Amino acid sequence: MLIKKPVITIALSLFFGAALPAAAAGSGASLQAAHNDVSNVASLQRGARNYVNYCLGCHSAKYVRYNRLAKDLGLSEDQVMRNLMFTGERPHDTMSVAMRPDDAAHWFGRTPPDLSLIARSRGADFLYTFLKSFYLDPTRPTGVNNTVLPGASMPHVLWELQGYQKAVYKGESDAEHNAVHKEFAGFELVQKGSLTPQEYDLFVRDTVNFLDYIGEPMQLKRQSLGLKVLGFLAIFFLLAYFLKKEYWKDVK
């Protein structure tokens, strides 16, 4: 009995010790939590609409089929055709872009990546923060830069909604060495967009939610299946426990 406790302590610390670095890994800039919920179908529907209207022009989602979307998002194929498909695709087509990769590379300096799996490689918090972190920077060809992906060649495609913000730094300039010691302090909206900051956060959250869902469409099923399995195990445990008690009651 005595050796058991340290074993449990070691097992627990290994478990949490392994989980911590994973949570801390990522970009140097601090990320905001996306707080998205892939089981929220209304949010996924809005996210799909946002994606088609604001992202699909440049970014394909080549592992996503429209008819699968219809099924998972609780839409009829007809609704999907009318609201999400504008360029004559058919329901079993995947979400591709019309732009040729060579042209894209020529225009932007880099081909916009396919976003099917981006939520899995970057994480929802990165995407959420990324879409909120474009700021004015006249030295960039696009006129904007991004704090979590410095030097990004993506233009601020959501500027009409968010407006334009500038990055505010705190710190002092060191004239003698012609250097500035500055630290990023936050953003300041310098030109209003059509959405309020709160509405823009919601817009971004829905979009990220959609990206999270397409990164692993099965996760909706996996989670509900997982709960059922756990429920089954709990009931089974009780059954087994009482059965064991019954069998052993005469053996002391």
The rounded Cα 105 to chain-centroid distance in angstroms is 24
Q: Does 26 bind ligand HEC (CB under 6 A)?
A: no
Q: Does 123 bind ligand HEC (CB under 6 A)?
A: no
**Shortest gap between Cβ of 23 and ligand HEC (angstroms)?**
19
Choose the binding region for ligand HEC from 31-39, 154-162, 183-191, 213-221 (rule: CB under 6 A): 154-162
Contacts by 54-58, CB closer than 8 A, 24 or more apart: 54/157, 54/158, 54/207, 55/115, 55/157, 55/207, 56/95, 56/97, 57/97, 57/99, 58/97, 58/99, 58/104, 58/108, 58/112, 58/154, 58/157
Q: Spell out, one character per residue from 197 to 216, where the chain touches ligand HEC: x when CB under 6 A holds, - when not.
A: ----------x---------
Q: Spell out, one character per residue from 39 to 68, where the chain touches ligand HEC: x when CB under 6 A holds, - when not.
A: ---------------xx-xxx---------
**Shortest gap between Cβ of 88 and ligand HEC (angstroms)?**
20
Other Cβ atoms less than 10 A from the Cβ of 205: the count is 23
Q: Spell out, one character per residue from 70 to 109, where the chain touches ligand HEC: x when CB under 6 A holds, - when not.
A: --------------------------------------x-
Q: Does 17 bind ligand HEC (CB under 6 A)?
A: no
Q: Quick one: tokens of 113?
A: 């990546």
Label residue 17 left, alpha or beta by phi (over 0 means left) and psi (-120 to 50 means alpha).
Answer: alpha
Choose the binding region for ligand HEC from 12-20, 26-34, 126-134, 243-251 (rule: CB under 6 A): 126-134
**Shortest gap between Cβ of 63 and ligand HEC (angstroms)?**
16
Integer Cα distance of 133 and 143 in angstroms: 13
